[in-house]
Every structure is written in structure tokens, then in C-alpha cells.
Amino acid sequence: SPFPDRHFDLTVVAQALHWFDFGRFFPEVHRTARAGALLAVWGYDLLRIRPEIDAAIDRYYRNVIGPFWDAERRHVETHYRSISIPFPEIPVDRAFSMRYEWSLSQLEGYLQTWSA
């Protein structure tokens, strides 16, 4: 990257780490991080609505499009624990949540963004 050594206090990756070339990314984070810098990584899980809707979405996710997910998707499913991140982990007390009110067409639009 064009950034100088020890340039950043914080590097953030949201719902994307599974696509990165780890052999290039982590050394670059290390090179561009100032002393005491943080790498913040997170992703989101399957949405939860109501048990009967959740079951239908889970079936769609696993059985209909599941065979077509890229291999990297497994990292998301393991909450990135399947990636050996070479930096100390700072445990969080709880996961954060996002709450939305969607129409059926908005939910359908979201499901169409799945890249399997």
C-alpha cells in the first residue's frame, strides 16, 4: 500500500476479512500500525426474526444456496475463528446487534445480496 510505516492507530475490517489474502494483509497491517494500534474485525451472522421464519431462512441458506457458497464463507460461519489472526485478541463482553424493520420486499432484496 502507499501508506508509510507506523501510520495507523486503527485498522477496521467489517464483513470482509474472509476475502483478503492473509499472507499479504496481516504483514501490511503490522507494517502500517503505530505502537499500540488496534485491528478491529467483525462480521454479521444470519438474521433472526421469529423461529418459523428463521428456520426457513436457515434451510435456504444451508440447503438451497449452501452448496454454492465460496469456500471463504466458512470463515464467516466460524465468526472468523478459523483464521489465524497474528495479533492479540481483545475479548468483547457481548456481540452487538442491529435491529431493522423491513417490508417483505426489503427482506427479499437483502436475501438477493447473498453471493452464493
29: nearest Cα among 46, 15, 44, 41? 41
pLDDT value, residue 54: 96
57: nearest Cα among 116, 115, 107? 107
Query: The domain containing residue 12 runs over which residues?
Result: 8-45+71-93
pLDDT value, residue 35: 97
CA dist 3 and 88 (Å) reads: 23
79: left (phi over 0), alpha (psi -120 to 50) or beta: left
**Does residue 51 belong to any structural domain of this protein?**
no
Q: How many domains does the chain have?
A: 1
**Does residue 78 belong to any structural domain of this protein?**
yes
CA dist 14 and 37 (Å) reads: 17
Is the Cβ–Cβ distance between 34 and 58 less than 8 Å?
no
Q: What is the mean pLDDT of each run of 10 residues along the chain (116 residues)?
A: 97 96 98 98 91 95 94 93 94 83 94 88
**Does residue 60 belong to any structural domain of this protein?**
no
pLDDT value, residue 62: 93
**Does residue 18 belong to any structural domain of this protein?**
yes
pLDDT value, residue 14: 95
pTM, entire model: 0.84
**Does residue 25 belong to any structural domain of this protein?**
yes
Which residues fall within 8 angstroms of residue 68, CB to CB, at 6 or more apart? 116
**Does residue 54 belong to any structural domain of this protein?**
no
